[in-house]
Amino acid sequence: MLVTTLAWAALVSAAIPAAMFLRNLGRFLPPPEVPIRELTHSADDSGDTTDQRQAVSLLIPARDEAAGIAASVAAALASRGVEIEVVVLDDHSVDATAAIVDEIAARDRRVRRIAGEALPEGWNGKQFACYQLAAAARYDRFAFIDADVRLQPDALVRLVAYQDTVDVALLSAFPKQLTGSWLECWLIPLMHFILLGFLPIDRMRASRLPAYAAGCGQLFLTRRPDYDAAGTHRAIRGSRHDGLKLPAAYRAAGLATDVVDGTPIASCRMYQRAGEVIRGLLKNATEGIASPRLIIPFTTILLGGACLPWITLLAAVGTAQWLAAVIATLAIAISYLPRVLAAARFDQSWLGVVFHPAALTLFVALQWIALVNRSLGRQVAWRGRTE
């Protein structure tokens, strides 16, 4: 009887994120393709000409990004259908980041480098960098991207068109997540599993409550009046999790936010080694799932859906409880469904699909480690900073 009860619990735990994932998959779409117009002008009665393309300031915070900053800037400069400037903030890099950007700027006047000011007390490094970048932007619509993001030529024009169509104040796209090491393949795709498995996208779009805030800090698009109304990055100055906290700030100001699938328009490889993956997930976990309010229910559902079906299946087979075995097998199949669909839809590694239960177990363990670190006053260093 106990085994059957556990099998039913496993089935319910697996079905909750699977059902939400299936519901969201048709709502989490890329911004539609749009005809790309080259630079055109229209004349008014006085004979003046007006540029008909949208203007975007592309803003990149960079700290020790010499390995990839040239590729990021080059991809941005290839943007079509928009007027663009690329502003890179060198955040006290100790490598060749500044020299590389200066060399590009010498060849292309659309590129500027600004030197970051000293980090004020109470500010996170990235948030302060973005705050300075926004102040330096020439245009009133700007996109914040991480230095490891590579835009497709039509990315910005599609995002701008979508933002104007739905009239959303802050738009975030989730780029295609490139992975190499086995740990990246296990853990990075969980970004989509958590987002689509637990955020009701239709309700998020119908509401401006901060509780439905979601985004990806790798790519944001906004307009200056909305950015100012939301309090700028000053509103989240101490946060390491702009993916959640910046949309929450906009929503707290009564502004709408939205998320879209950025797989066809951008790519990003966040981490290169196993140690970076672990530190990257630990550094901001307590601002998300690893909070005292969320960690127990998420642990219950995640492990209940991924691991409990296997445990109950073994127990059911060992005790010849065949109804429980059938229920547990169904729970296993349902638990894998979101990862299979995500791998196919978002071009993710199948290694993460195969090891889904182990990946979720490790992910949950990292959330608990982050919570313990926080209770002990420990902060994970990132790029030489603990803020």
The pLDDT tens digits for 196-227 are 999 999 999 999 999 999 999 999 999 999 99
pLDDT interval class at 35 (50, 70, 90): confident
pTM of the model: 0.92
Q: Tokens 């490790």 label which residue? A: 362
Domain match, 234 and 319 both = no
The pLDDT, as a whole number, for residue 37 is 67
The pLDDT, as a whole number, for residue 40 is 41
Contact in structure between 113 and 133 (CB atoms under 8 Å):
no
Domain match, 321 and 265 both = no
Share of the chain above pLDDT 90, in %: 84
Mean predicted lDDT score pLDDT of the chain: 92
Residue 293 has pLDDT above 70, yes or no: yes
Domain match, 267 and 173 both = yes
- Element spanning 205, H or E: helix 201-206
Cα atoms in the Cβ-side hemisphere of radius 13 Å centred on 158: 21
Domain match, 298 and 165 both = no
Number of domains in the chain: 2
CA distance 7 to 313: 8
Read off the amino acid at residue 61. Answer: P
CA distance 280 to 191: 13
The pLDDT, as a whole number, for residue 386 is 61
Domain match, 56 and 183 both = yes
Tell me if 76 is assigned to some domain: yes
* Residues paired with residue 350 on neighbouring β-strands, in sequence order: none
**Domain span holding position 88:** 41-272
Tell me if 283 is assigned to some domain: no
Pairing of β 41-43 and β 49-51: antiparallel
